């Protein structure tokens, strides 16, 4: 098959059986790739209600049809399994080189099932696949493991997916590291890998990917690159990466300061704003085929952590460590980030869990004796000590390893300070400070409390949200921009108000969820400026040139909707209820104490109304959120639907 590598690698660690099965054209045409096919494989290869850390769970890596080619930003791969943190769909995406290396080795997907009887790693060199002993690697951190594997393979070109101590010790929010500095971080996929006694996957591929129409492919790939470069967001993001937005969040008072107790830090911009980047880095780093290069190679030159070198200074670690845990300086933020990477621990859930503990301590709800030492906000050494204790389940770390919600319940009998949705620690942006497609999307995300599966391509951060209006957010772009949005005219008019001042949150939620599902299925980047530059029309063009399919924008969006609904059906099968769609209690109970959004809290009635309307817009039952028969027929998900509604 053109574009695709054409095969799924299935490895059963219990029996040692390794098989290579063809990826069928039917499967590809229905679920496209990566996230889409991962979700389908997870649905079919697991029974309802399994223990996520048992041998019955499967761990699936997927790289989409455009990954490994010259299509700009096409580098993302997705890892899926049943999540040990939420009990629902686990899914997490990462860029860098692993996805393309999978394709070059000949695999669109790698599905791992069963459980080894001793620590092993999976060695893949094109057609040669071996399960190798990993006793000497077990217990090592991710950076040490990668060094040892590079030595063993005598190659720096190998791509490595690896767990640290957190994954080994079944920390419910452990990550799988994608090389030393990138990760499939969310929803605890590291613990699933650890439960299988699988320390790492090493992959080296020397094959190639062919496309349907060389000339058309070259042309569309160049045009897409130019679109990205011409995007109004390109200059800032290309220079400062995701940090370009760090100041804006500060301006809205949307920072998750000390576990969301306030949204404001006085000296935020001077100490943790984008300009600080320049003191640490003069080298940008890009994922394959990306013209933006939003990552930076950072070097700590002086102070206690002098000599630390790390790819980073990204908005997420800076918000999580710098605001949520209140670490004042970039040196300290980078040091904490390095320990998260080395132990293989999700920074967002890790910070959410540690922040919960620090707030309990601040309020005197937990004593120093219980913890064993004081845990003041912003103390870098204390944070690093806690991460290490969590990763080894030592002392209080054993309780924290269960995630913020369960740990909060275990420590105080309630979950008042667990900033989670459906068990997943939320990241960054405080919805009280700016209600939008992005913040409402935390509630509807198929993987729980996280906003990275909804990106409103016309979000305009120059404007604050509209007070008391839950249904719309400001649009505010010029006519020229409006005209260029890649969206069918009839849909565009419904979503964006004709006077072009507002965007309908519900309708845009659905549109952008379906669209981002497609981004994650083909493997292109969901961040600005890629987000604004690519849409269903250009994606259809890319797929036509790459795969040789006769596909249009409408079919692209239908595939996106199918993938979103399949994820929904999986979650319903695993027991998700409407009642689970709740923001953390703090957002309803406590008004923001200061900043531009002072006095704002979330109105539960308004949110309920929004959920009703969202379900309706999706063709789901208004109250239960179960997809209706008509929608299922339209999407061709009958078998899956029947297995959920008529178990």
Partner 1 sequence: MNKFILVDPGKCIGCRSCALACSFEHDDEFNLSLTRISPLWMTEIGRFIPMTCQQCEEPLCLDVCPRKAISADKKTSAIVVDEDLCIGCRACFLVCPFGVPVIHRNKGYMIKCDLCGGSPQCVEECSQQALSTVESDDAALRKRREAAQKLQALTEKISEKAS
Should residue 149 be labelled a site residue for partner 1 when binding is judged by CB under 8 A?
A: no
**636 touching partner 1, by CB under 8 A:** no
Q: Which of 135, 219, 270, 283 binds partner 1 (CB under 8 A)?
A: 283
What is the smallest separation between the CB atom of 240 and partner 1, expressed in angstroms?
14
Q: Which is nearer to partner 1, 288 or 523 (CB)?
A: 288
Task: Give dist(CA 131, CA 121) in Å, integer.
Answer: 6
> 105 or 557: whose CB is closer to partner 1?
105
Is 301 a residue that touches partner 1 (CB under 8 A)? Answer: no
Closest distance of CB 150 from partner 1, Å = 11
Q: For the chain, how many residues are written? A: 647
601 touching partner 1, by CB under 8 A:
no
Q: Which residues face 80 on adjacent strands?
A: 60, 91
Instruction: Considering the complex, state which of residue 234 and residue 477 has its C-beta at the smaller distance from partner 1.
Output: 234
Q: Which is nearer to partner 1, 74 or 162 (CB)?
A: 74
Sequence-ordered list of residues with C-beta below 8 angstroms from that of 284, at least 6 positions apart, any chain: 238, 241, 293, 294, 295, 296, 297
State the nearest-atom distance from the C-beta of 297 to partner 1, in Å. Answer: 5
**The one among 137, 163, 192, 290 contacting partner 1 by CB under 8 A:** 290
User: Which one among 309, 363, 501, 591 touches partner 1, defined by CB under 8 A?
Assistant: 309
Task: Compute the radius of gyration of the chain from its Cα atoms.
Answer: 23
3-state secondary structure 427-453: CCCCCCCCCCHHHHHHHHCCCCCCCCC
Kindly compute the dihedral angle of the four CA atoms of residues 509, 514, 515, 519, in this order, to the nearest 10 degrees: 130
- Binder to partner 1 among 210, 275, 493, 591 (CB under 8 A)? 210
* Residue 358, CA distances (Å) to 64, 334, 404, 408, 509 in order: 41, 20, 11, 11, 34
| Of 77-85, 209-217, 372-380, 575-583: span binding partner 1 (CB under 8 A) | 209-217
CB atoms inside a 10 Å sphere around CB 613: 18
Q: Quick one: which H or E segment has residue 248?
A: helix 246-252
Is residue 378 a contact residue for partner 1 (CB under 8 A)? no
Among 139, 273, 291, 619, binds partner 1 (CB under 8 A): 291
Among 9, 189, 289, 516, indicate the residue that binds partner 1 (CB under 8 A): 289
Which residue's CB is nearer to partner 1, number 256 or number 529?
A: 529
What's the closest the beta carbon of residue 404 comes to partner 1, in angstroms?
Answer: 35
Minimum distance from CB of 210 to partner 1 (Å)? Answer: 5
For partner 1, the closer CB: 288 or 332: 288
Applying CB under 8 A, does 548 fall inside the site for partner 1? no
Handedness of CA 139, 143, 149, 154 (dihedral sign): negative
| Residue 536, token pair as written in the block | 């269903």
Report the C-alpha gap between 215 and 233 in whole angstroms.
29
* Token couple for 377: 């906000």
Is residue 434 a contact point for partner 1 (CB under 8 A)? no
Size of the site for partner 1 (CB under 8 A): 28
470 binds partner 1 (CB under 8 A): no
User: Binder to partner 1 among 216, 229, 558, 645 (CB under 8 A)?
Assistant: 229
Query: In whole angstroms, how close is the CB of 293 to partner 1 at the nearest point?
Result: 4
Query: Cα separation of 207 and 126, whole Å?
Result: 7
Sequence-distant (≥ 6) Cβ neighbours of residue 171 within 8 angstroms: 188, 190, 191, 345, 390, 391, 393, 401
The piece of 6-14, 206-214, 569-577, 621-629 that touches partner 1 (CB under 8 A) is 206-214
**Contact positions with partner 1 (CB under 8 A) in 155-174:** 156
Q: Are 558 and 82 in contact (CB under 8 A)?
A: no
DSSP state of 321: I
Q: Which is nearer to partner 1, 284 or 628 (CB)?
A: 284
Please tell me whether residue 409 binds partner 1 under the rule CB under 8 A.
no
Tell the smallest beta-carbon distance from residue 244 to partner 1 (Å): 16
Binds partner 1 by CB under 8 A, chosen from 17, 214, 493, 577: 214
Q: Please report whether residue 268 would count as binding partner 1 according to CB under 8 A.
A: no
| Residue 203 CB, nearest approach to partner 1 (Å) | 13
d(CA 517, CA 80): 14
Note whether 209 binds partner 1 by CB under 8 A. Answer: yes
Nearer to partner 1, 281 or 444 (CB): 281
Q: Can residue 225 be called a binding residue for partner 1 (CB under 8 A)?
A: yes
Q: How far is CA 57 from CA 53, 90, 136, in A?
A: 7, 11, 26
| Residue from 287, 148, 172, 390 nearest 162 by CA | 148
Residue 347 lies near partner 1 (rule: CB under 8 A): no
Window contacting partner 1 (CB under 8 A); options: 12-20, 208-216, 398-406, 491-499: 208-216
> Rounded distance, CA 530 to CA 314, Å?
17
Q: In this chain, which stretch among 144-152, 217-225, 383-391, 596-604 interacts with partner 1, using CB under 8 A?
A: 217-225
The binder of partner 1 chosen from 4, 31, 104, 470 (CB under 8 A): 104
Taking residues 49 to 78 in sequence order and writing x for each that binds partner 1 by CB under 8 A, - otherwise, the string is -------------------xxx--------
The dihedrals phi and psi of 116, each to the nearest 5 degrees, come to: -75, 160
The nearest distance, CB 317 to partner 1, in angstroms, is: 19
What is the three-class DSSP state of 575? coil
* Cross-strand partners of 61: 79, 110
**Total Cβ atoms within 10 A of residue 235:** 12
Least separation in angstroms between CB 152 and partner 1? 18
Q: Which residues contact 358 (CB under 8 A, 6 or more apart)?
A: 258, 259, 325, 375, 376, 377
Quote the CA–CA distance of 555 and 517 in Å, as a whole number: 13
C-alpha–C-alpha distance, residues 513 and 495, integer Å: 14
State the nearest-atom distance from the C-beta of 175 to partner 1, in Å: 22
Could you tell me the smallest distance in angstroms from the CB atom of residue 313 to partner 1? 13
In angstroms, give the least distance from the CB of 380 to partner 1.
23
Residue 252 three-state SS: helix
- Residue 635 gets the label, from left (phi > 0), alpha (psi -120 to 50) or beta, of alpha
Diameter over CA atoms, the chain: 69
Residues that bind partner 1 (CB under 8 A): 68-70, 104, 156, 206-210, 214, 218, 222, 225, 229, 283-291, 293, 297, 299, 309
């Amino acid at each position: 098959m053109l574009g695709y590598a054409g095969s799924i690698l299935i490895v059963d660690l219990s029996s040692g059986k390794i098989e290579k099965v063809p990826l069928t054209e039917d499967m590809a045409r229905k679920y496209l790739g990566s996230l889409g096919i991962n979700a389908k494989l997870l649905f079919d290869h697991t029974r309802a209600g399994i223990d996520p850390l048992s041998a019955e769970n499967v761990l699936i890596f997927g790289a989409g049809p455009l990954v490994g080619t010259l299509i700009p930003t096409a580098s993302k791969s997705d890892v899926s399994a049943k999540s040990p943190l939420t009990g629902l769909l686990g899914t997490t995406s990462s860029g860098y080189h692993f996805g393309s290396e999978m394709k070059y080795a000949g695999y669109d997907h790698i599905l791992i099932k069963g459980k080894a009887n001793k620590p092993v790693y999976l060695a893949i060199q094109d057609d040669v696949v071996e399960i190798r002993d990993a006793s000497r690697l077990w217990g090592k951190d991710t950076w040490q493991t990668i060094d040892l594997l590079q030595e063993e393979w005598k190659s720096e070109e190998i791509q490595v997916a690896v767990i640290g101590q957190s994954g080994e010790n079944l920390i419910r929010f452990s990550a799988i590291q994608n090389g030393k500095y990138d990760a499939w971080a969310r929803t605890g996929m590291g613990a699933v890998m650890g439960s299988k006694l699988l320390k790492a996957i090493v992959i080296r591929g020397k094959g190639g990917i062919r496309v349907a129409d060389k000339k058309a492919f070259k042309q569309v790939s160049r045009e897409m690159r130019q679109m990205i470069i011409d995007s109004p967001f390109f200059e800032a993001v290309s220079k400062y990466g995701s940090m370009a937005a760090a100041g804006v969040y500060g301006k809205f008072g949307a920072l998750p300061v000390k576990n969301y107790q306030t949204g404001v830090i006085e000296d935020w911009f001077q100490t943790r704003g984008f300009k600080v980047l320049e003191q640490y880095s003069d080298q940008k780093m890009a994922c394959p085929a990306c013209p933006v290069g939003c990552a930076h190679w950072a070097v700590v030159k002086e102070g206690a952590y002098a000599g630390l070198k790390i790819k980073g200074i990204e908005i997420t670690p800076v918000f999580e460590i710098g605001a949520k845990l209140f670490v004042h300086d970039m040196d300290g933020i980078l040091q904490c980030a390095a320990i998260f990477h080395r132990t293989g621990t999700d920074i967002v859930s890790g910070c959410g869990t540690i922040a919960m503990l620090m707030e309990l301590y601040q309020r005197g709800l937990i004593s120093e004796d219980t913890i064993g030492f004081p845990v003041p906000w912003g103390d870098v050494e204390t944070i690093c000590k806690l991460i290490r204790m969590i990763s080894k389940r030592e002392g209080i770390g054993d309780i924290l390893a269960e995630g913020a919600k369960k740990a909060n319940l275990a420590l105080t009998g309630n979950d008042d300070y667990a900033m989670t949705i459906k068990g997943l620690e939320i990241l960054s942006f405080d919805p009280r400070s700016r209600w939008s497609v992005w913040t409402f999307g935390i509630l509807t995300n198929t993987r729980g409390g996280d906003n990275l599966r909804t990106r409103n391509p016309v979000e305009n951060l120059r404007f604050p949200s509209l007070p008391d209006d839950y249904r719309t957010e400001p649009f505010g772009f010029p006519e020229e921009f409006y005209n260029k949005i890649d969206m069918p005219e009839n849909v565009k008019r419904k979503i964006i108000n004709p006077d072009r001042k507002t965007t309908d949150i519900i309708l845009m939620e659905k549109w952008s969820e379906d669209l981002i599902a497609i981004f994650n299925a083909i493997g292109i980047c969901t961040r600005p400026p890629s987000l604004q530059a690519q849409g269903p029309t250009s994606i259809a063009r890319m797929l036509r040139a790459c795969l040789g399919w006769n596909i249009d924008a409408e079919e692209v969006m239908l595939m996106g909707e199918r993938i979103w609904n399949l994820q929904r059906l999986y979650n319903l099968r695993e027991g998700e209820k409407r009642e689970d769609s709740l923001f953390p209690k703090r957002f309803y109970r406590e008004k923001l104490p200061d900043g531009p959004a002072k006095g704002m809290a979330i109105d539960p009635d308004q949110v309920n109304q929004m959920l009703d309307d969202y379900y309706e817009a999706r063709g789901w039952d208004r109250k239960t959120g179960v997809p209706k028969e008509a929608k299922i027929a339209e999407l061709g998900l009958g078998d899956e639907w029947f297995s959920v509604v008529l178990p």
